[in-house]
């Protein structure tokens, strides 16, 4: 009864929420497909990990390849060759006032541009600008523990700031 009442209310008041599917690692690539989407409040964003060993991990525009403190994270999702089942992970949009930024934590992938956005603006902090910034961190490796191993690169300051913020939480 409770469920039926809620469902009718939703139908009556708002357009139904969408489920937006993202394919991760298709054909052995280091990609999210599509890599940038728009979503409304209450839409679900579902990542289907079809191959490889990847994550969908929330970051920030300022530090594309560093975990956002308190952000959401799929964790590593690994698919064996020839697997008949694939893992998937999703989250629900509960705030559309800001874009959401994601990257893959697997070593080297973010630096190859394996990043994703929801509701990125079409000027200023665009998806392309985010991906370009991610690639600039190619020589910086951020381990899952938050330890930062680095050689000199333009991405260092922003990445280090993100790690410090993470440790303070």
| CB of 55 vs Cu ion, minimal distance in Å | 7
Asked if residue 100 lies in contact with residue 78, where contact means CB atoms within 8 angstroms, the answer is no
| CB of 49 vs Cu ion, minimal distance in Å | 9
| CB of 107 vs Cu ion, minimal distance in Å | 9
What residue 109 binds from Cu ion, ligand NAG, none (CB within 5 to 8 A, per partner kind)? Cu ion
Asked if residue 66 lies in contact with residue 60, where contact means CB atoms within 8 angstroms, the answer is yes
Radius of gyration of the chain (CA): 17
Hey, which residues does 92 pair with through a beta bridge?
A: 44
- Among 76, 41, 32, smallest CA distance to 55 is for 76
47 or 61, CB closer to Cu ion? 47
Three-state helix/strand/coil letters over 27-75: HHCCCEECCEECCCCCCEEEEEECCEEECCEEECCCCCCCCCCCCCECC
| CB of 168 vs Cu ion, minimal distance in Å | 27
Q: Is residue 86 involved in binding ligand NAG (CB under 6 A)?
A: no
Given 12, 82, 84, 94, the residue binding ligand NAG (CB under 6 A) = 94
Residue nearest Cu ion, Cβ-based:
104
Torsion sign across C-alpha atoms 102, 60, 67, 141: positive
Residue with tokens 């525009």: 61
Q: Is residue 150 involved in binding ligand NAG (CB under 6 A)?
A: no
| CB of 106 vs Cu ion, minimal distance in Å | 4
What is the footprint of ligand NAG within residues 6-35 (CB under 6 A)? 14, 17, 23, 26-27, 33
**Residue 62 DSSP code:** S
Q: Is residue 141 involved in binding ligand NAG (CB under 6 A)?
A: no
Hey, which residues does 140 pair with through a beta bridge?
A: 150
User: Residues interacting with ligand NAG, by CB under 6 A?
Assistant: 14, 17, 23, 26-27, 33, 41-42, 50, 53, 72, 76, 78, 91, 94, 106-107, 135-136, 138-139, 153
């Amino acid at each position: 009864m409770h469920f039926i009442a809620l469902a009718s209310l939703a139908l009556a008041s708002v357009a139904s929420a969408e489920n937006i599917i993202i394919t991760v690692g298709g054909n052995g690539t280091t990609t999210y497909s599509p890599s940038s989407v728009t979503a409304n409040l209450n839409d679900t964003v579902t990542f289907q990990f079809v191959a490889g060993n990847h994550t969908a991990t929330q970051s920030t525009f300022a530090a594309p390849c560093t975990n956002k403190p308190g952000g959401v994270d799929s964790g590593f999702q690994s698919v064996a060759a020839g697997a008949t089942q694939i893992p998937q992970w999703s989250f629900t949009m509960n705030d559309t006032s800001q874009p959401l930024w994601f990257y893959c934590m697997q070593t080297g992938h973010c630096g190859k541009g394996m990043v994703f956005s929801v509701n990125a603006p079409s000027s200023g902090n665009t998806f392309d600008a985010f991906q370009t910034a991610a690639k600039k961190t190619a020589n910086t490796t951020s381990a899952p523990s938050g330890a930062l191993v680095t050689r000199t690169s333009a991405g260092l300051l922003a990445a280090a700031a993100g790690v410090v913020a993470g440790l303070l939480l």
